[in-house]
C-alpha cells in the first residue's frame, strides 16, 4: 500500500459515509447522479488520501497533482472528497447540492469551487483536456528545470472517466495523441460499470477498450471488481502505484465496478445513474453499510477529524517541497525570475517591440502576417508555444527554428520533449480541448490553428474555454469564400455568427497585416479566450498615415477612413474592408460623403463606453451598410432597421476568389448601390 497513509477501520467507515452522503444529497434536491458517486467513493477517497499530491490549504499550489473528474455528472464524487480534505466545502454545501449559488453545482465548475481543476460535464472533455495538462507539465519542466531527471516540477495528472467519456470521439483523438507523446505523467482511471442512461452500454459499446488503449501506446492495467461487486481497493491501490511509477507512457487503469453498489435494488441499474434512489432504498443501503438509516448527512466529528488529517500530510509534503524550491531558486536565479513572471501572468517589459510593423502599399494575406507576428512573439515569450491540426503550412502557425514537441523516444527529426511546435494531427476537437488543458495548467500561452470552417469540429471545447474564461487562442485561417477553388465545403458562411454567439469569446477578423499585429497584442494582454479569423488571399496593407491607427483594433471597431460630414457609414470586417475603402472613393467622386469603419471584433467594441460607440457610429446616421462575407445574422444590431447588410446567406462555390467576390456581390459597386439606395 502507499506510504502516504496507512489504512484503518476509519477509512472504511469514511467510504461508507461518502456513499451515504451521495445518496442523501441527491435525495434532498430530488435530482442528480447518485449511482456513480456511490461506486466511485472508494476510488476517489483512496486517490485523495493516499496518492494525490496536494495541499488543501493552497488549491493553486504550483507543484500539486491535478485531478480531473471527466464524468462531471458524478460531481458528488469530487465534492465529497473536497469536503473530506478541507477545501472549503462543508456539509451545508452538500445539502445545497445543485441549488442556486451553492458551491456544489450539478457539474463541477472551474473558478467556482476551490479544488476543481476544470469545468466538466460534456463527456470526453475531461480526458482530452487532461492530455493538455500533461503536455503543459512537460513543457513547463523544459522551461524551468530541463536537465533534471527527477524534478521538483514533476507531477501527475489523474483522471477518473466513465464509459460515456470513452465513447466520445474527442477522448479517442486526445488519447491517440497522448500515446504518441508518451505522456508518462498521465493516469486515467476508467470506471467500467457498463451502465449509461439507456442501460447496458453493450447496446452500443462492445469494443475491447484495453486493447484499443494498448494500440494507442498506453500502459494498461485491468482491475476486476470483487465477487460482491465492490471495487477491489487493494488491487486498485496497487495499480495506481504502478501507474504513477510507469513514466514512459500514459497509463489506463480499467477498473470494473457496479454502479450504486451496495444498494440492494438499485445497484447495476440504469435508473441509479441519474435518479434519486428513494428513502426506502437509501435506508436499506445504509443498513448494509453499517450506518444508521435514520440519519441523513451524517459525518461524526471524530471521523471528519480523521479524514482531514490529509491536510497535515499535504502540509508536510508542501514543506519539504518548499525547501527544495528555495534551493532550486538559489541555483537558478534566471529561471526563478522567469517563473515569478509566469505565475503573475505578466508579459516582459518591451515585448511589443518584437511585433512587426507592415509596410503600407504591399499586399499580404492576414494568415501570413499572423505567422510573422507569431515569430516575433515567440522571440520574446519563451512560454509561447502551439501548432495546428496538420495545417501548419496553410495556417502559418509554425514557430520557425524551434523543434517539435515530441518525446525523447521519437524517431522523428528535429524533436525535443520540450519543443515549441505542437503537431496535433487531424484532430481539431482534441486540439481545442488540449489548448484548454495547457491554459488551465497555468504558466504558458498557447495557440492552435485550422481552417475556419473546421471550427465546427472544435465548438464544444471552444465553448468550454469561454465558459471557464481560460485564455486559449484559436487561429482560424481561410476565413471566407476568398479561399477560392476548394469550394463550399471549405468556405465558412455561418461560422462568424456562430462563433460570435459564444458568450465570452472574442472573435477577431482583422482587415490587414497591421490589424493582425494589434489583434495579437490585444489577445495576449487581455488573457482571455479568443479566436482570430485570417484570410488565405492577399489583402492590401492600409496606409496608416492617412487612415485610422491600427492600435484602435483594441477597441473592437474604429473609424478607419472618415469624410467630411458623412451621410452614411460602411462597416466591414476582414477582407471586405479593402472593398469598402474602394467604394468610399467611388462615392466621393459622386460627392457622397461616407465613413468607413473597420470592425474586427464586435465583442471588444461592445465593451467600450456608449460615448465611444456613438462617436464611431453616430445615432444620427441611420444609413449604414455592413459588408461581411458571411450570413447577415448579428449585423442588424449595428446597422439598425434602416441599414443594409451585404452578406452571404447561402453556400459558396468552387472558383477563384476574385470571381466569387464578384459573383456574390462583394464589390465596390454593390456597396455604392446600397449606400445610394439608403440615401433616398
Distance of alpha carbon 141 from the chain centroid: 21
Residue 428 designated active-site: yes
Reduce the DSSP state of residue 157 to 3 states and report it. strand
Alpha carbon separation from 90 to 76, 83, 104, 311 (Å, rounded) = 12, 5, 10, 15
For 602, counting Cβ atoms within 10 Å of its Cβ (0-12 exposed, 13-18 middle, 19+ buried), the class is: buried
d(CA 337, CA 674): 57
Distance linking the first and last C-alpha atoms of the chain: 84
Place of cell 512537460: 138
The active-site residue out of 281, 284, 428, 515 is 428
CA dist 362 and 538 (Å) reads: 9
SS3 250: coil
Residue 593, CA distances (Å) to 542, 569, 584 in order: 20, 9, 8
CB 435, CB 174: distance < 8 Å: no
- C-alpha span between 137 and 156 (Å, rounded): 9
User: What is the distance between the alpha carbons of residues 112 and 105, in angstroms, rounded to a whole number?
Assistant: 9
Q: Do 529 and 469 contact (CB within 8 A), yes or no? A: yes
Q: Which three cell numbers stand for residue 648?
A: 452571404
Q: How many helices (H) and strands (E) does the chain have?
A: 26, 22
Q: Where are the beta strands (DSSP E) in 358-481?
A: 363-365, 384-388, 404-405, 415-416, 421-423, 445-451, 473-477
SS (H, E, C) 223-246: ECCCCCCCCCHHHHHHHHHHHHHC
Got the DSSP string for 600-664?
S-HHHHHHS-HHHHHHHS-TT---EEEE-SS--TTTHHHH-TT-EEE---S---SS-HHHHHHHT
Cα distance between residue 575 and residue 30, in whole Å? 53
CA distances from 506 to 123, 218, 522, 643 (A): 25, 37, 10, 24
Peptide bond into 475 cis (omega under 30): no
Calpha distance 346→518 (Å, rounded): 18
Catalytic residues: 428
Amino acid at each position: 500500500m502507499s506510504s502516504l497513509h496507512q489504512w484503518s477501520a476509519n477509512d472504511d467507515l469514511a467510504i461508507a459515509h461518502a456513499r451515504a452522503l451521495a445518496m442523501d444529497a441527491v435525495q434532498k434536491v430530488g435530482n442528480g447522479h447518485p449511482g456513480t458517486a456511490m461506486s466511485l467513493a472508494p476510488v476517489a477517497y483512496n486517490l485523495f488520501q493516499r496518492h494525490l499530491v496536494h495541499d488543501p490549504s493552497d488549491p493553486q499550489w504550483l507543484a500539486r497533482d491535478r485531478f480531473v473528474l471527466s464524468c462531471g455528472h458524478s460531481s458528488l464524487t469530487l465534492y465529497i472528497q473536497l469536503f473530506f480534505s478541507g477545501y472549503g466545502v462543508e456539509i451545508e454545501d452538500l445539502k445545497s447540492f445543485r441549488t442556486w449559488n451553492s458551491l456544489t453545482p450539478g457539474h463541477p465548475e472551474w473558478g467556482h469551487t476551490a479544488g476543481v481543476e476544470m469545468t466538466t460535464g460534456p463527456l470526453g472533455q475531461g480526458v482530452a483536456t487532461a492530455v493538455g495538462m500533461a503536455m503543459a507539465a512537460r513543457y513547463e519542466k523544459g522551461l524551468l528545470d530541463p536537465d533534471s531527471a527527477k524534478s521538483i516540477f514533476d507531477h501527475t495528472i489523474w483522471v477518473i472517466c466513465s464509459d460515456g467519456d470513452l465513447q466520445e470521439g474527442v477522448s479517442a483523438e486526445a488519447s491517440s495523441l497522448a500515446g504518441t507523446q508518451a505522456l508518462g505523467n498521465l493516469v486515467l482511471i476508467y470506471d467500467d460499470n457498463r451502465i449509461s442512461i439507456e442501460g447496458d452500454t453493450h447496446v452500443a459499446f462492445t469494443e475491447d477498450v484495453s486493447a484499443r488503449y494498448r494500440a494507442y501506446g498506453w500502459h494498461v492495467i485491468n482491475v476486476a471488481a470483487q465477487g460482491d461487486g465492490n471495487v477491489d481497493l487493494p488491487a486498485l491501490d496497487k495499480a495506481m502505484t504502478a501507474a504513477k511509477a510507469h513514466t514512459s507512457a500514459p497509463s489506463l487503469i480499467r477498473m470494473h465496478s457496479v454502479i450504486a453498489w451496495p444498494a440492494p435494488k438499485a445497484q447495476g441499474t440504469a435508473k441509479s445513474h441519474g435518479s434519486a434512489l428513494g428513502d426506502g432504498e437509501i435506508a436499506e443501503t445504509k443498513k448494509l453499510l453499517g450506518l444508521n438509516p435514520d440519519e441523513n448527512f451524517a459525518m461524526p466529528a471524530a471521523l471528519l477529524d480523521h479524514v482531514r488529517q490529509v491536510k497535515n500530510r499535504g502540509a508536510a509534503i508542501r514543506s519539504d517541497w518548499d525547501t527544495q524550491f528555495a534551493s532550486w531558486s538559489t541555483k537558478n536565479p534566471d529561471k526563478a525570475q522567469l517563473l515569478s513572471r509566469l505565475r503573475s501572468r505578466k508579459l516582459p517589459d518591451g515585448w511589443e517591440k518584437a511585433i512587426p510593423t507592415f509596410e503600407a502599399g504591399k499586399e499580404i494575406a492576414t494568415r501570413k502576417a499572423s505567422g510573422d507576428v507569431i515569430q516575433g512573439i515567440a522571440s520574446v515569450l519563451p512560454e509561447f508555444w502551439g501548432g495546428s491540426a496538420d495545417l501548419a503550412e496553410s495556417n502559418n502557425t509554425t514557430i520557425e527554428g524551434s523543434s517539435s514537441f515530441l518525446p525523447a523516444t521519437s524517431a522523428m527529426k528535429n524533436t525535443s520533449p520540450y519543443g515549441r511546435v505542437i503537431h496535433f494531427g487531424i484532430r481539431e476537437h482534441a486540439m481545442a480541448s488540449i489548448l484548454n488543458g495547457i491554459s488551465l495548467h497555468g504558466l504558458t500561452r498557447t495557440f492552435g490553428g485550422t481552417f475556419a470552417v473546421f471550427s465546427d469540429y472544435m465548438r464544444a471545447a471552444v465553448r468550454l474555454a469561454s465558459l471557464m474564461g481560460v485564455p486559449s487562442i484559436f487561429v482560424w485561417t481561410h476565413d471566407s469564400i476568398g479561399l477560392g477553388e476548394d469550394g463550399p465545403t471549405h468556405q465558412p458562411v455561418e461560422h462568424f455568427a456562430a462563433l460570435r454567439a459564444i458568450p465570452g469569446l472574442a472573435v477577431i477578423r482583422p482587415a490587414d497585416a497591421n490589424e493582425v499585429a494589434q489583434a495579437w497584442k490585444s489577445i495576449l494582454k487581455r488573457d482571455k479566450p479568443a479566436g482570430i479569423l485570417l484570410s488565405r488571399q492577399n489583402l492590401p496593407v492600409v496606409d496608416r498615415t492617412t487612415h485610422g491607427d491600427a492600435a484602435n483594433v483594441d477597441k473592437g471597431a474604429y473609424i478607419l477612413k472618415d469624410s467630411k460630414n458623412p451621410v452614411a457609414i460602411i462597416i466591414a470586417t476582414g477582407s471586405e474592408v479593402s472593398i469598402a475603402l474602394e467604394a468610399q472613393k467611388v462615392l466621393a467622386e459622386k460627392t457622397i460623403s461616407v465613413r468607413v469603419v473597420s470592425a474586427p471584433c464586435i465583442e471588444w467594441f461592445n465593451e467600450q463606453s456608449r460615448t465611444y460607440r456613438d462617436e464611431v457610429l453616430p445615432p444620427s446616421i441611420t444609413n449604414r451598410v455592413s459588408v461581411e462575407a458571411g450570413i447577415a445574422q448579428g449585423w442588424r444590431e449595428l446597422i439598425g432597421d434602416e441599414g443594409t447588410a451585404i452578406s452571404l446567406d447561402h453556400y459558396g462555390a468552387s472558383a477563384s476568389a476574385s470571381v466569387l467576390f464578384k459573383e456574390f456581390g462583394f464589390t465596390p459597386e454593390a456597396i455604392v448601390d446600397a449606400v445610394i439606395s439608403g440615401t433616398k
